Amino acid sequence: MIAVEVGIGERAYTVTVGAGARHLLPEVLPADAARVAVVTQAGIGVEVDAGVPATTYLLPEGEEAKSLATVERLCRGFAADGLARSDAVVAVGGGVVSDVGGFAAAVFHRGIRYVTVATTLLAQVDAAIGGKTGVNLPEGKNLVGAFWQPSAVLCDTDTLRTLPAREWASGRGEMAKYAFLAEHGPDDTPGAALIGLPLEEQVAACAAIKAAVVAADERESGRRAVLNYGHTLAHALEAAAFGPGGRWDLRHGEAVAIGLVFAAQLARRLGRIDDERVAWHRTVVASFDLPAELPAGASAAELVAFMARDKKARHDLTFVLDGPRGVEAVHGIEPAAVVATLASMGCAP
């Protein structure tokens, strides 16, 4: 097992990575928890033994689960089951489950503890770590939520064996992001080394990068925004897909991969990086066998409208972009530059 510490003072916790990590659940639960609510999805098929009485709550499949209505159903169930403030929620699944289960834990009794058993690559390298919980609105992804740190995160690599190929792609998109956060140029070794590590070490390395960023900026007031590299366009693509008239099927990591290439091309247009660096973005994305092109039928006007609602924005267009100082948030991007970059990638007006 590999242990990664998330050092945020009294809210510090450990991310444990390795085969069979889920069996450590009784050891990492709060000692005074007399019962737990297990939040999961029917398709996950991973059983856990908390060592105390447990009630299981099944979420709908997919992004549709990330709604305020779902959170209300969970909280009413917790209340009916007599879940006390000293008890805990156990979120078993991927990013959707940790987002929704964690948010329900954050608001029930004004906050009860929770543990995440991450069963997908996306959750293990990113979504389950850092305490960002939330749900979607029709106007955009993750617009309602809370920062609520888990008591522990268990990343059981055994659960990855049965992941469908598209779910692997979803996690690899976040891995590609971390390759850029680990280095500042195509000739530096850390980012390239991440690509070639064994899986368990890749997961732990990504967790360690995120843990360091979260420890420095828990509530995304500054540095933590870099964790959204590639995500501004990715979230817009996802919002367009699950909103009315959605026209394409993209997993989160696939959308992030496209967002990384877009961010590189936007940074090049703004003079922040050169053509070689843009090519390196494409190389990294390709090394994880991910798409780099916008889906057919994407509209620049629609995507820019979604991007303007991004949670990093300050009544402007904000992007995390590569540059001379590495990856950082850049505010006040002119819409014309964004539209021109989208057009260069084949996007319709």
Domain membership of residue 73 (yes or no) is yes
Q: Are residues 97 and 183 in the same domain?
A: no
Q: What is the pLDDT of residue 186?
A: 43
Going by C-alpha positions, the residue among 66, 75, 207, 70 that lies closest to residue 129 is 207
Q: Are residues 135 and 211 in the same domain?
A: no
Domain boundary among 133, 160, 187: 160
* Distance, first Cα to last Cα, the chain: 50
Q: How many domains does the chain have?
A: 2
Domain membership of residue 227 (yes or no) is yes
Domain boundary among 160, 181, 206: 160
Q: Are residues 137 and 254 in the same domain?
A: no
Give the SS3 label for residue 158: helix
Domain membership of residue 335 (yes or no) is yes
Across the chain, which has 349 residues, the per-10-residue mean pLDDT values are 94 96 97 97 94 97 92 98 97 96 98 97 94 90 93 97 89 93 54 78 93 89 89 91 72 95 98 95 93 91 87 75 93 94 93
Beta bridge partner(s), residue 134? 145
Q: Round to whole Å and give the CA distance between 315 and 307.
A: 11
Q: What is the pLDDT of residue 130?
A: 94
Domain membership of residue 245 (yes or no) is yes
Q: Are residues 283 and 205 in the same domain?
A: yes
Q: Are residues 315 and 170 in the same domain?
A: yes
Residues carrying an active site annotation: 110, 132, 174, 210, 220, 224, 228, 231, 235, 252
Q: Are residues 77 and 119 in the same domain?
A: yes
Q: What is the pLDDT of residue 245?
A: 59
Residue 277 maps to which CATH number? 1.20.1090.10
Domain boundary among 160, 180, 205: 160
The long-range contacts involving 331-334, CB below 8 angstroms and separated by at least 24 positions, are 333/266, 333/270
- What H or E segment, with its residue span, contains residue 78? helix 68-80
- Count of Cβ atoms closer than 10 Å to residue 255 Cβ: 27
Q: What b-and-e string marks burial along 84-112, b requiring 16 or more CB atoms within 10 Å of the CB?
A: eeebbbbbbbbbbbbbbbbbbbbbbeeeb
Q: Are residues 71 and 171 in the same domain?
A: no
Task: Determine whether 46 is exposed, middle or buried from the number of CB atoms within 10 Å of its CB (0-12, 13-18, 19+).
Answer: middle
Q: Check if the beta carbon of residue 147 is closer than 8 Å to that of residue 218.
A: yes
Task: Determine whether 116 is exposed, middle or buried from the number of CB atoms within 10 Å of its CB (0-12, 13-18, 19+).
Answer: buried
Cα 286 to Cα 82, 146, 242, 291, distances in angstroms: 50, 34, 26, 7
Domain membership of residue 349 (yes or no) is no
Domain membership of residue 60 (yes or no) is yes
Q: Are residues 214 and 278 in the same domain?
A: yes
Domain membership of residue 337 (yes or no) is yes
| pTM of the predicted protein model | 0.88
Q: What is the pLDDT of residue 219?
A: 86
Domain membership of residue 149 (yes or no) is yes
Q: Are residues 71 and 13 in the same domain?
A: yes
Residue 85 maps to which CATH number? 3.40.50.1970
Domain extent for 12: 2-160
Going by C-alpha positions, the residue among 85, 133, 96, 89 that lies closest to residue 115 is 89
Strand 319-321 to strand 328-330: parallel, antiparallel, or no bridges (unpaired)?
antiparallel
Give the SS3 label for residue 111: coil
Return the half-sphere exposure (C-beta side, CA atoms, 13 A cut-off) of residue 187. Answer: 1
Q: Are residues 104 and 253 in the same domain?
A: no
Q: Are residues 175 and 255 in the same domain?
A: yes
Q: Are residues 180 and 277 in the same domain?
A: yes
